[in-house]
Amino acid sequence: MARTRVRDLPAATGNEVVLQGWLYNRRSSKKMHFLQLRDGSGIVQCIVTKDDFGDDEFLKIGQIPYESAIQLTGTAHGDDRAPGGVEVHISGVEVISRSEEYPISKQDHGPDFLLSHRHLWLRSRKQVALMRIRDEVIRAIRDSMHDRGFTCIDAPIFTPSSCEGTSTLFEVDYFDEEKAFLTQSGQLYMEAAAMALGDVYCLGPTFRAEKSKTRRHLTEFWMFEPEMAFADLDDVMNLAEQMLSTIVERVLQNRREDLEVLERDIEKLKAVQLPFPRISYDDAVKRMNEEGHSFEWGGDLGAPDEAIISSWFPSPVMVHGYPEAVKAFYMKRDLDDPRVARGVDVLAPEGYGEIIGGGQREDDLEVLLERIQQHQLSEEDFRWYLDLRRFGSVPHGGFGLGVERTVCWLAGIEHVRECIPFPRMLYRLYP
């Protein structure tokens, strides 16, 4: 008989089914075992009675270690009280692979222990819910980009130069004395691709040698980076809010159960509404000072400042017009005020901080050359990038959305490390 996935059980009530999975949990009384079977698609309660199996078998089933792989045969019953609305009355139990004593118990473990057992921790209910939400976010992005006519262009991972400052580069030996760097962002390559295909995006791993141990920093994270030719800062902000709104909608629509497993306050996500608030860096600084949080114009916003600004709004807030001195070399300067860059950061609600960074790119060859010198970058490394300003330069822009930070906010998780299958951080490369 073909196996039924737990997810498909509601359509199989009344039928005999074969389930294959792992023993997630067990409660026992004198005459019954309640086995929780997980198969990746869901968790179902399975009932084993002493009457059906006899004393010996019943005892043995009570001793199957957690996380053993098992096959169960039984009849699916609709039951409103059962989690998932279905339970299965079992007539046959077969152990496919008997587990050793499982290191993760249902009690609390410290984060270090769990991270060292990430390969097993992934099996737990919350982690499964998180991975499903992550998958939904990525699919929502790809679907929406496709619907909007953007072409997916994969950016290289090995790069000859830095995009986001030289202090967070991972260096790799690259044959004969040459050095390569793991990419910090696909942006520069997306700019080239936008001049070829108009509207493009990439979605892939990016790397930052971040020496900071915060709840928002990974050394390897996934970034979604759209880039548009013939676009200014407003176009970038419009796309950013529409993409975020679509992502929130899709997660609310398709991952409701997973949000419940994570005990996420769904009202907070429902409160996210278009259009998102837009506030200039200038105005944000003024308001912070008015509210007694002193902040000097010119500095970058830190996590506490971002938390204050985001607390003013239920939707993500787009802070634009940062001082150019705190932003990357490629940012277009405001023509009215050269101290200001035409960049935007999107700050998530509830203090989750920056989830998107982007803006309009410098499209003037002379200004860009000047900026490369100011930032002490090698002109030679950027020859190809400068070519884009030599051959049909146009206003263009885009942004980078951090996938894990976005998932972290949507799922209401404390630390980004749980929002990627196998986190890489300062002091964490295993497993």
Strand partners for 317 = 347
404 binds, among Mg ion, ligand 4AD, none (CB under 5 to 8 A by kind): ligand 4AD
Identify residues 129-168 at the interface with ligand 4AD (CB under 6 A). 163-164
C-alpha to C-alpha distance for 256 and 419, rounded to whole angstroms: 17
Cβ(262)–Cβ(268) below 8 Å? no
Q: At its nearest, how many Å lie between ligand 4AD and the CB of residue 118?
A: 17
Cβ(161)–Cβ(181) below 8 Å? yes
If the CB atoms of residues 55 and 414 are measured against ligand 4AD, the closer one turns out to be: 414
399 in contact with ligand 4AD (CB under 6 A): yes
If the CB atoms of residues 211 and 256 are measured against ligand 4AD, the closer one turns out to be: 211
Lay out the site mask for ligand 4AD across 8-47 (x = CB under 6 A, - = otherwise): ----------------------------------------
C-alpha to C-alpha distance for 306 and 295, rounded to whole angstroms: 12
399 binds, among ligand 4AD, Mg ion, none (CB under 5 to 8 A by kind): ligand 4AD
Find the binder of ligand 4AD among 86, 243, 247, 355 (CB under 6 A): 355
306 binds, among Mg ion, ligand 4AD, none (CB under 5 to 8 A by kind): none
Q: With contacts defined by CB under 6 A, name the span among 3-11, 17-25, 124-132, 351-359 that binds ligand 4AD.
A: 351-359
Find the binder of ligand 4AD among 21, 42, 321, 398 (CB under 6 A): 398
Find the binder of ligand 4AD among 354, 371, 410, 419 (CB under 6 A): 354
Q: With contacts defined by CB under 6 A, name the span among 71-79, 213-221, 274-282, 293-301 that binds ligand 4AD.
A: 213-221
Find the binder of ligand 4AD among 199, 225, 241, 324 (CB under 6 A): 225
423 in contact with Mg ion (CB under 5 A): no
Find the binder of ligand 4AD among 22, 121, 221, 276 (CB under 6 A): 221
Lay out the site mask for Mg ion across 348-387 (x = CB under 5 A, - = otherwise): ---------x------------------------------
323 in contact with ligand 4AD (CB under 6 A): no
Q: What is the dihedral of CA 210, 211, 214, 216, to 10 degrees?
A: 0
Instruction: Note the residues at the interface with ligand 4AD (CB under 6 A).
Output: 163-164, 185, 187, 208, 210, 217-218, 221, 223, 225, 354-358, 398-400, 402, 404-405, 416
